Amino acid sequence: MKSKRSGGAMYLRMLLRAAMLRKKQAASAFVAVVVAAAAATAMLNIYLDVETKLGKEFRNFGANIVVEAGDGKSFSPETVASIRTTVGARGLAVPFAYTVARTDKDQPIVVAGTDFPLAKKLNPWWSVSAWPQVSGQALVGVRAAAALGNPSAFRVTHDGHPLELRSAGTVETGAGEDSRVYISVEDFRSWTGLEPSVVEIAANGSPEEIDALIQQLQPTLPGAEVRPVRQVTEGEANILGKTRSTLLSSSGFIVLTAALCVLATLMGWVFDRRRDFAIMKALGASDWLIALFVSGEAGVLAMVGAGVGFACGIAIAAWIGRADFHAPIVPRLSILPPVLGGALAITLISTLLPLRLLRRIQPAMILRGE
C-alpha cells in the first residue's frame, strides 16, 4: 500500500519537475494547447448560437405566419386571445382589421385597426413619427396624409358612420401601409362593428418549429387559413444556412491550424527530451512505463490547457456576441467534453508519435549525443 502511494507521489513529482525544469518549453506547449482549445470553444459556441442570434435579427422582418379568417369572416376577441395563448412565449400575435372608408373628398381609403404597442414590436422597420397613445388618435400613412392634405384632424366615413380622428403621427414603410390610416382595434370596433380578420404572427425558431406551430394552430381555427410567409421564411433559411456553412468551414480551418501548432510544439518538446528518456531507460524503465509517463504528462497538459482554453474561448465568444449582437453568446457546457476529448487526442498523438520513433534508438546512442 505504502509503496504504491510513494510510487504515485514519485510519478507526480516527475511530472511537475519535468514541467518546472523546462519552463519555457512547457509554457509554449501550454500556450499552444490553450490557444487551440480557446479557438475551438469560441468557434463552436458561436456556431451553435448564431442561429438564435441571427434569428432575432430575422424576426425584425415581421410576421412569418399569417392567419386569415377567410371571406367576410372575422375573429372574435376570444379567438384572438386563444391564438395568443397557443403562440405563447414563442412569438408575437398581432390582430389587424381592415375596411375601406371614404374621406371628405370622397376618396376611398383603407382604414386598419390594430394593437399599436404590439404592431410596434412586430414591425420595427415602420418609420413612425409618433405612435398614437389615446383613443381617437390615428397613425396616418405618409401617402394617405398627403392625400388628406396633412391635416391634424380629419374625418372618415364608413357605411354612413363618420369618425373624427386626430393624427398622432405618420408611418412610412415604402409599401401598402403608406396608403392606410391605422386606428386602435377598440375604436375600429365601435365605429364599424367589425372584428379583426387577420392575425400576423412573428414566431421564433427553426423552419421545423414554425411548421409545427402552423400545424398546431390550424385545427383550433376551423375555416381560417394559417400560412407561412414564404418570402420571410425562405429568405431566412437560405441566409442562415450559408452563414452557418461559412462559419463551420472557417472554424474548421482555424482549429486545424491551432491543432497543427500543438503537434509541432509538443513533438519538438518530446524530441528535445530524448536524453531524459534515455536516462530513464538506462535506469531500467520499460518502453511501456515511459509511454505511460509521457501520456500522463500529455493528459495533464491537455486537461489543464483545455480547461483554461475553454474559459478563454467562452470569454471570446461572449465578447464577440456583445460586440456584434449586443447580447452575450450563451456559454454551452456541452462543448466542454468534445474540446477536452480533442485536446487529449491531439496531445497524445503528438507525444506518443515521436516516442515511437525514439524507441527504436538505443539509449546509449542518445546519451552519446548522436
Partner 1 sequence: MLVAIAVTLGTAVSTAMIGIATGIGDKISRELRAYGANLVVTPEEDSLDVEIGSVDLKPSRTGAYLDEAALPKIKGIFWSNNIAAFTPMLPVNVEIGGGEITLLGTYFSKTLTYGTKKFVSGARTTFPWWKVQGDWPADESSDVLVGEKLASHLAVGAGSEISFHGQQHRVSGILSTGGAEDNQIVAPLILAQAVAGKPGAARKIFVSAITKPEDAFARRNPYSLSPADRDRWYCSPYPQSIAYQLQEVIPHSRAEPIRQVEQNEGNVLSRIEGLMLLITIAALVTSALAVSAAMATAMFERRTEVGLMKALGAGHFSLSMIFIVESVLLALAGGVVGFASGTLLAHELGRAIFGSSLEVDPVLLPVVLAIAIGVTFGGSAIAIRRAVKYDPVLALRGDA
What is the footprint of partner 1 within residues 176-195 (CB under 8 A)? Answer: 176, 178-179
**Distance in Å, CB of 235 to partner 1, minimum:** 4
Assess 11 for contact with partner 1 (CB under 8 A): no
Residues 228-257 that bind partner 1 (CB under 8 A): 228-232, 234-235, 238-239, 242-243, 245-247, 249-250, 253-254, 256-257
> How many residues sit in the footprint of partner 1 (CB under 8 A)?
84
Assess 122 for contact with partner 1 (CB under 8 A): no
Assess 269 for contact with partner 1 (CB under 8 A): yes
Span interacting with partner 1, options 80-88, 143-151, 188-196, 205-213, rule CB under 8 A = 143-151
Residues 36-55 that bind partner 1 (CB under 8 A): 36, 38-39, 42-43, 46, 50, 53-54
Residues 80-99 that bind partner 1 (CB under 8 A): 98-99
Assess 156 for contact with partner 1 (CB under 8 A): no
Question: 195 Cβ partners below 8 Å, 6+ apart?
Answer: 74, 75, 76, 77, 97, 189
Assess 172 for contact with partner 1 (CB under 8 A): yes
Span interacting with partner 1, options 3-11, 56-64, 214-222, 298-306, rule CB under 8 A = 56-64
Residues 300-319 that bind partner 1 (CB under 8 A): 316
Helix (H, G, I), strand (E, B) or coil at 102: strand
Assess 120 for contact with partner 1 (CB under 8 A): no
Grid cell 372618415 in the structure block, residue: 156
**Distance in Å, CB of 298 to partner 1, minimum:** 15
Instruction: Return the number of the residue (11 or 51) whose C-beta is nearest partner 1.
Output: 51
Instruction: Return the number of the residue (35 or 224) whose C-beta is nearest partner 1.
Output: 35
Span interacting with partner 1, options 2-10, 27-35, 83-91, 160-168, rule CB under 8 A = 27-35
H or E segment and range at residue 71: none
**Distance in Å, CB of 162 to partner 1, minimum:** 19
Q: Distance between CA 15 and CA 9 in Å, rounded?
A: 10
Instruction: Return the number of the residue (50 or 138) whose C-beta is nearest partner 1.
Output: 50
Query: Applying CB under 8 A, which of residues 20, 89, 323, 333 lies at the interface with partner 1?
Result: 323
Q: Which amino acid is at 120?
A: K
Contact 63, 200 (CB under 8 A): yes
**Distance in Å, CB of 216 to partner 1, minimum:** 19
Instruction: Return the number of the residue (260 or 344) whose C-beta is nearest partner 1.
Output: 260
**Distance in Å, CB of 327 to partner 1, minimum:** 11
Helix (H, G, I), strand (E, B) or coil at 197: coil
Distances (CA, A) of 330 to 258, 263, 292, 316, 325: 24, 30, 38, 12, 12
Instruction: Return the number of the residue (151 or 178) whose C-beta is nearest partner 1.
Output: 178
Grid cell 396633412 in the structure block, residue: 150
Selection from 170, 178, 181 nearest residue 104 by Cα? 181
H or E segment and range at residue 70: none
Helix (H, G, I), strand (E, B) or coil at 62: coil
Q: In the 3-class helix/strand/coil scheme, how is 108-166 assigned residue by residue?
A: EEEEEEECHHHHHHHCCCCEECCCCCCCCEEEEEHHHHHHHCCCCEEEEEECCEEEEEE
Query: Applying CB under 8 A, which of residues 87, 92, 144, 301 lies at the interface with partner 1?
Result: 144
Distances (CA, A) of 248 to 30, 55, 324: 26, 17, 18
**Distance in Å, CB of 213 to partner 1, minimum:** 15
Residues 59-78 that bind partner 1 (CB under 8 A): 60-62, 68
**Distance in Å, CB of 227 to partner 1, minimum:** 6
Assess 118 for contact with partner 1 (CB under 8 A): no
Q: Distance between CA 48 and CA 247 in Å, rounded?
A: 10
Q: What angle do CA 227, 233, 236 make, to 5 degrees?
A: 170
H or E segment and range at residue 332: none
Contact 192, 184 (CB under 8 A): no
Task: Classify residue 174 by its DSSP letter.
Answer: S
Question: 303 Cβ partners below 8 Å, 6+ apart?
Answer: 340, 343, 344
